[in-house]
């Protein structure tokens, strides 16, 4: 089975071509058929094909070059349910599939039950995770020790790596990889009330960047946008954080969050989908997995496969890139690093290369990994990344005869699908 990549523009066109192989039955020999459907009928069409006993060989954007389909498809195809779906109509596949979708359901259920079966083995030890040690009414006062740019020359915007000293707290503000902290910026809002806290994903492991166990680091992008009146607006807390200096005291709350915790299993596989500052939790995982001092301290020797998909607008905007390149060179069997640089790389359709294009390019491998109950997927970044990833996963799953809309909640229930977007 082959899945080619689909660019953002193809999603707008939203037409997909499926090549289906019908097995020999009675006097009819094996044959191939090409079916074109709109995106919103993809799942139901796949269900119908499965129910009729067809095997999907590929799913590609409809305008992409197709593998040559064999002639002589007619006799077998005519008796199969998806025959009527060769037209790009949304209603027919949907109606057919309602009656014929059992095959696909079975495939999805098999994968889903695998997912569910893995629940107890893969589930992180949530009860051990510290939460809300410091609340907004009595925050911890952390001291800034470092605040430096993570961007290279020519990058767009402003992204800082900021570290706070946590020593002296009672209780000690401890946290684990995948959690967030709250920051309360100085000053008052437009109503004269103290600013509310903003959450930031922690970018350091529980040991801190210096391994002393007394600090926490963040990766903060300064929010900047133009309002309707054309004024340039800067975000309150992100600007406050990007501007703070070593020695400044900052109000910190938390930690919070159990959504993005790593499994305890040293043999787990971890697929990471990150854009921009969504890299923060991924950095903690990768340090825990591959930094020699972390491995020593943790006595947790990651032996699974980790695969980071990182999206950025330009190469100088890639965050912690040199570290990840180093891990890939040191642990080629355990770590893979795939970048989507939208303003520099082209997808197969000649459009900008986004992270969802990379997901589609590697759909076979990703789904082979997801079929393994030891595999967890983590997604973090701006909320806008979710629809693109969801569409890519839908198309990728469909090419395997799976229904992503059914499979995703099952993975979530099994604590294997982790999303934190903002
Ligand atoms: C769990 C979690 C983890 C997070 N982790 C991180 C992280 O690791 N790094 C990070 O940098 N951020 C992270 N954030 C986002 C962070 O909490 C703040 O939302 C962000 O820094 C902006 O806060 P601010 O005070 O600067 O902006 P504010 O002054 O609060 O302004 C934000 C408001 O501006 C408006 N606005 C924003 N963009 C536009 C636009 N284009 N057009 C019009 N109006 C707009 C919206 O009304 C928005 O609510 C995370 C959020 C969550 C929930």
Q: Considering the domain boundaries, does residue 8 fall inside one?
A: no
Which of residues 95, 123, 151 is at a domain's end? 123
Question: Which three-class secondary structure string do you get for 366-385?
Answer: HHHHHCCCCEEEEEEECCCH
Q: What is the CATH number of the domain that holds 394?
A: 3.40.50.80
Residues 234, 332, single domain; the answer is no
Q: Considering the domain boundaries, does residue 281 fall inside one?
A: yes
Q: Give the pLDDT band of residue 63 (cuts 50, 70, 90).
A: low
Give which of 362, 185, 199 is closest to 277, Cα–Cα: 199
What distances in angstroms separate CA 401 from CA 188, 274, 407, one per listed residue? 54, 26, 11
Q: What is the pLDDT of residue 53?
A: 76
Strand partners, 59: 3, 18
| pLDDT higher than threshold 50 for residue 76 | no
Residues 276, 395, single domain; the answer is yes
Q: Write the pLDDT tens digit of every residue in 209-264.
A: 999 999 999 999 999 999 999 999 999 999 999 999 999 999 999 999 999 999 99
Q: What is the pLDDT of residue 153?
A: 97
| pLDDT higher than threshold 50 for residue 4 | no
Residues 273, 413, single domain; the answer is yes
Ligand 1 and 220: CB distance under 6 A: yes
Q: Write the pLDDT tens digit of every residue in 271-305.
A: 999 999 999 999 999 999 999 999 999 888 999 99
Residues 138, 199, single domain; the answer is yes
Q: Write the pLDDT tens digit of every residue in 109-156.
A: 444 444 443 443 444 555 579 999 999 999 999 999 999 999 999 999
Q: What is the pLDDT of residue 370?
A: 94
Out of 164, 191, 199, mutate this one to test ligand 1's pocket (max ligand atoms within 8 Å of CB): namely 199
Q: Considering the domain boundaries, does residue 4 fall inside one?
A: no
Q: Considering the domain boundaries, does residue 5 fall inside one?
A: no
b vs e for 90-104, b when ≥16 Cβ sit within 10 Å of the residue's Cβ?
A: eebbbebbeebbebb
Strand partners, 25: 28
Write phi, then psi, for 322 (nearest 5 degrees).
-65, -40
Residues 30, 56, single domain; the answer is yes
Rounded Cα distance between 377 and 411, Å, is 9
On the CB side of 136, CA atoms within 13 Å amount to 11
Q: Give the pLDDT band of residue 5 (cuts 50, 70, 90).
A: very low
Which of residues 102, 123, 144 is at a domain's end? 123
| Per-position DSSP letters for 18-70, written without gaps between them | EEEEEPPBTTBPPEEEEEEEEGGGHHHHHHHHHHTTEEEEEEEETTS--PPPP
Residue 261 Cα to ligand 1 midpoint, Å, equals 22
Residues 71, 118, single domain; the answer is yes
| pLDDT higher than threshold 90 for residue 192 | yes
Per DSSP, the three-state class of 75 is helix
Q: Considering the domain boundaries, does residue 339 fall inside one?
A: yes
Per DSSP, the three-state class of 402 is coil
Contact status, residue 14 vs residue 38, Cβ threshold 8 Å:
yes
Rounded Cα distance between 15 and 322, Å, is 39
Q: Report the chain's mean pLDDT, rounded to a whole number.
A: 83
The residue that leads in pLDDT, 126 or 39, is 39
Say how many domains are in the chain. 3
Strand partners, 219: 161
Q: Give the pLDDT band of residue 410 (cuts 50, 70, 90).
A: very high
- The ligand 1 atom nearest the CA atom of 239: 26
Element (H, E) at 99: helix 91-100
Ligand 1 and 161: CB distance under 6 A: no
Residues 284, 191, single domain; the answer is no
Q: What is the pLDDT of residue 16?
A: 75
Give which of 286, 298, 217, 295 is closest to 255, Cα–Cα: 217
Contact status, residue 394 vs residue 408, Cβ threshold 8 Å:
no
pTM assigned to the model:
0.77
Ligand 1 and 259: CB distance under 6 A: no
Residues 59, 97, single domain; the answer is yes
Residues 148, 228, single domain; the answer is yes
Contact status, residue 294 vs residue 176, Cβ threshold 8 Å:
no
Out of 190, 200, 236, 251, mutate this one to test ligand 1's pocket (max ligand atoms within 8 Å of CB): namely 200
Q: What is the pLDDT of residue 181?
A: 98
Domain containing residue 47: 15-123
Give every CB contact of residue 16 below 8 A, 6+ residues apart in sequence.
6, 36, 37, 38, 39, 42, 59, 60, 61, 62, 395, 398
> What share of the chain in percent tops pLDDT 70?
78
What value does the mean pLDDT take over residues 265-270? 97
Q: What is the pLDDT of residue 46?
A: 76
Rounded Cα distance between 341 and 353, Å, is 6
Ligand 1 and 277: CB distance under 6 A: yes
Q: Torsion angle, CA of 85/88/89/92, rounded to 10 degrees?
A: 0
Residue 114 Cα to ligand 1 midpoint, Å, equals 37
Cα–chain center distance at 85: 32
Q: Give the pLDDT band of residue 417 (cuts 50, 70, 90).
A: very high
Residue 367 Cα to ligand 1 midpoint, Å, equals 32
Residue 198 Cα to ligand 1 midpoint, Å, equals 8
Write phi, then psi, for 3 (nearest 5 degrees).
-125, 120
Q: Considering the domain boundaries, does residue 413 fall inside one?
A: yes
Contact status, residue 239 vs residue 299, Cβ threshold 8 Å:
no
Ligand 1 and 235: CB distance under 6 A: yes
Q: Considering the domain boundaries, does residue 7 fall inside one?
A: no
What value does the mean pLDDT take over residues 369-390? 96
Length of the chain: 422
Ligand 1 and 236: CB distance under 6 A: yes
Catalytic annotation on 420?
yes
Q: What is the pLDDT of residue 198?
A: 98
Least confident piece of the model among 72-76, 262-266, 360-364: 72-76
Q: What is the CATH number of the domain that holds 241?
A: 2.40.30.10
Q: Give the pLDDT band of residue 322 (cuts 50, 70, 90).
A: very high
Q: Considering the domain boundaries, does residue 357 fall inside one?
A: yes
Residues 151, 205, single domain; the answer is yes
Least confident piece of the model among 6-10, 140-144, 257-261, 266-270: 6-10
Residues 106, 138, single domain; the answer is no
Strand partners, 218: 162, 202
Q: Which residue's CA is minimally distant from atom 4 of ligand 1?
A: 200
Contact status, residue 348 vs residue 312, Cβ threshold 8 Å:
no
Residues 244, 302, single domain; the answer is no
Question: Which three-class secondary structure string do you get for 268-335?
Answer: CEEEEEEEHHHHHHHHHHHHHHHCHHHHHHHCCCCCCCEEEEEEECCHHHCCCHHHHHHHHHHCCCCE
| pLDDT higher than threshold 50 for residue 73 | no
Rounded Cα distance between 196 and 184, Å, is 6
Which of residues 61, 88, 123 is at a domain's end? 123
Residue 223 Cα to ligand 1 midpoint, Å, equals 6
Q: Give the pLDDT band of residue 61 (cuts 50, 70, 90).
A: low
Q: What is the DSSP letter of 267?
A: T
What value does the mean pLDDT take over residues 28-44? 72
């Amino acid at each position: 089975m082959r899945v080619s990549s689909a660019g953002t523009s193809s999603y707008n066109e939203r037409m997909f071509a499926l090549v289906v192989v019908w097995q020999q039955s009675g006097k009819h020999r094996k044959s191939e058929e090409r079916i074109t459907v709109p995106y919103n009928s993809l799942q139901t069409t796949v269900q119908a094909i499965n129910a009729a006993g067809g095997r999907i060989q590929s799913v590609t954007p409809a305008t992409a070059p197709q593998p040559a389909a064999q002639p002589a498809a007619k006799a077998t195809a005519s008796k199969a349910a998806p025959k009527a779906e060769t037209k790009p109509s949304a209603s027919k596949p949907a109606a057919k599939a309602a009656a014929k979708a059992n095959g696909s359901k079975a495939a999805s259920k098999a994968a889903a039950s695998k997912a569910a079966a893995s629940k107890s083995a893969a589930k992180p030890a949530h009860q051990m995770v510290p939460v809300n040690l410091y609340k907004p009414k009595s925050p911890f006062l952390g001291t800034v020790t470092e605040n430096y740019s993570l961007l290279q020359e020519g990058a767009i915007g402003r992204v800082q790596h900021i570290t706070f000293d946590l020593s002296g707290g009672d209780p000690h503000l401890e946290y684990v990889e995948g959690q967030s902290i709250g920051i309360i910026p100085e000053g008052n809002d437009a109503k004269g009330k103290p600013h509310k806290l903003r959450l930031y994903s922690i970018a350091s492991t529980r040991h801190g960047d210096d391994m002393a166990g007394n600090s926490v680091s963040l990766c903060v992008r300064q929010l900047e946008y133009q309002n309707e009146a054309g004024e340039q607006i800067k975000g309150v807390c992100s600007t406050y954080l990007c501007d703070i200096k070593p020695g400044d005291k900052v109000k910190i709350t938390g930690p919070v969050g159990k959504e993005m915790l790593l499994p305890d299993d040293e043999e787990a596989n971890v697929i990471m989908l990150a854009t921009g500052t969504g890299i923060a939790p991924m950095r903690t995982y990768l340090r825990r997995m591959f930094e020699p001092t972390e491995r020593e301290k943790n006595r947790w020797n990651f032996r699974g496969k980790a695969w980071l998909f990182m999206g950025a607008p330009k190469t100088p905007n890639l965050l912690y890139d040199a570290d990840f390149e180093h891990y890939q060179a040191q642990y080629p069997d355990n770590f893979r690093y795939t970048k989507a640089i939208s303003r520099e790389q082209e997808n197969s359709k000649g459009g900008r290369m986004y992270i969802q294009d990379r997901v589609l390019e590697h759909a076979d491998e990703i789904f082979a990994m997801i079929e393994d109950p030891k595999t967890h997927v983590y997604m973090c970044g701006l909320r806008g990344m979710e629809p693109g990833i969801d569409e890519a996963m839908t198309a990728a799953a469909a090419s395997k005869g799976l229904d992503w809309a059914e499979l995703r909640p099952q993975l979530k229930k099994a604590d294997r699908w982790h999303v934190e977007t903002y």
